[in-house]
Amino acid sequence: MEEQDWAQVVAAAVKAPSIHNTQPWRFTASADQVELHFDHERALPVLDPSGRQQVISCGIAVEFAVVALAARGLTAEVDLLPDGDASDHLATVRVTGAHETSADERSLADAIDRRHTVRAPFLPQAVPGDLVDALQQEAARFDTWCKPITRSEEEVATVFLISRAEEMEQGDPAYVAELQSWMRTDPGAVDGVPVEAVPSGDPRERPSNWLIRDFVVGQRESREFRAAGDPDAPPPDVERPTVLLMGTTGDDHTAWLQSGRALARVLLRATAAGVAASPLTQALDWPDTRTRMQQRLSLIGYPQFLLRMGYPPSDPGAVSGRRPVEDVLRFETA
């Protein structure tokens, strides 16, 4: 492939979501492959000291590249951690041949441009069960399980752990400082989270029992959400999103990358069906609440990502920026 071809593929890859929109990746392209490397300069040492969530983000970018190649009629092989777990070289995507692009492959590639995180309340319209089944099947292709949170006791436990983790985070000055360093007031910012993308107002007045991460620290009096089964819970005609918990049997770099690739497919498949998503990962940020989630939900394996899904409003909110391709991609000459 020519340099301009790889630039277009990487332009699709960098549209992947990442924790706090840190975009922790660098790419190196040659004739028939592109390498993805972890960028430690964009690390989150307080929120993500192990790098787990940022490695998951890199896995999403890897799969976005695969989807972009498929739409160009090219098959690809992914080699994870080719230099071992200790290396920043997380994956190599290698072109292995050509094929006739299917309508489904084109649909998924088109979804890359349309997908973005929606933190606003969703419409009071249920996500179809057959779509949830399809998302579970997509995740399974990457050794990742996908569990809908549907039982009331599971929802109560999950909401409680998210709320507890949020309290812990907002009470940690180092976490607050790191979070605020990734907030952006400039609408032209190429990374970080735009302030206008974050829901405002008292959380108790929002039509949902699921807590969106409180980015705007200190501007809200209360962060408590109504749990399922509570007499003050929202009525049935307001947002009741589908919540999916994704996880793996292992908890190493390979598992994190695979869960990221699975998440990429889930997000694109959902977007193609008109469904939007946002993360609910607070309870997975902290080892204590992550372990408690394993126990409370009787999970076999490790939770990696919690996703809130539903149909977006007509104004889904601001779109986070992306760094220019030339900032993240270099070409290797023979």
Q: Considering the domain boundaries, does residue 274 fall inside one?
A: yes
Residues 162 and 140 occupy one common structural domain: yes
Residues 259 and 216 occupy one common structural domain: yes
Q: What is the CATH number of the domain that holds 274?
A: 3.40.109.10
Query: Residue 298 has which token pair?
Result: 């009787």
Query: Residue 202 has which token pair?
Result: 């008292």
Residues 70 and 150 occupy one common structural domain: no
pLDDT in tens, the chain (334 residues): 999 999 999 999 999 999 999 999 999 999 999 999 999 999 999 999 999 999 999 999 999 999 999 999 999 999 999 999 889 999 999 999 999 999 999 999 999 999 999 988 899 899 999 999 999 999 999 999 999 999 999 999 999 999 999 899 889 999 999 999 999 999 899 999 998 877 655 444 444 555 555 444 433 333 333 344 454 554 545 667 899 999 999 999 999 999 999 999 999 999 999 999 999 989 999 999 999 999 999 999 999 999 999 999 988 778 899 999 999 999 997 6
Residues 177 and 82 occupy one common structural domain: no
Q: Considering the domain boundaries, does residue 238 fall inside one?
A: yes
Q: Are 310 and 127 in contact (CB under 8 A)?
A: yes
Residues 263 and 303 occupy one common structural domain: yes
Q: Considering the domain boundaries, does residue 124 fall inside one?
A: no
Cα–Cα distance between 193 and 181 in angstroms, integer? 10
Residues 198 and 283 occupy one common structural domain: yes
Give the pLDDT confidence score for residue 104 in this predicted structure: 97
Cα–Cα distance between 260 and 25 in angstroms, integer? 13
Q: Considering the domain boundaries, does residue 14 fall inside one?
A: yes
pTM above 0.85, yes or no: yes
Q: Which residue has the tokens 């190493």?
A: 252
DSSP helix/strand/coil, 245: strand
Residues 25 and 143 occupy one common structural domain: no
Q: Considering the domain boundaries, does residue 122 fall inside one?
A: no
Residues 142 and 188 occupy one common structural domain: yes
Residues 247 and 176 occupy one common structural domain: yes
Q: Which domain holds residue 187?
A: 129-310
How many structural domains are present in the chain?
A: 2
Q: How far is CA 152 from the centre of its chain?
A: 25
CA-wise closest residue to 298 among 163, 151, 142: 151
Q: Considering the domain boundaries, does residue 315 fall inside one?
A: no
Give the pLDDT confidence score for residue 17 in this predicted structure: 97
DSSP helix/strand/coil, 37: strand
Residues 75 and 202 occupy one common structural domain: no
Residues 85 and 181 occupy one common structural domain: no
Q: Considering the domain boundaries, does residue 123 fall inside one?
A: no
Q: Considering the domain boundaries, does residue 121 fall inside one?
A: no
Residues 199 and 244 occupy one common structural domain: yes
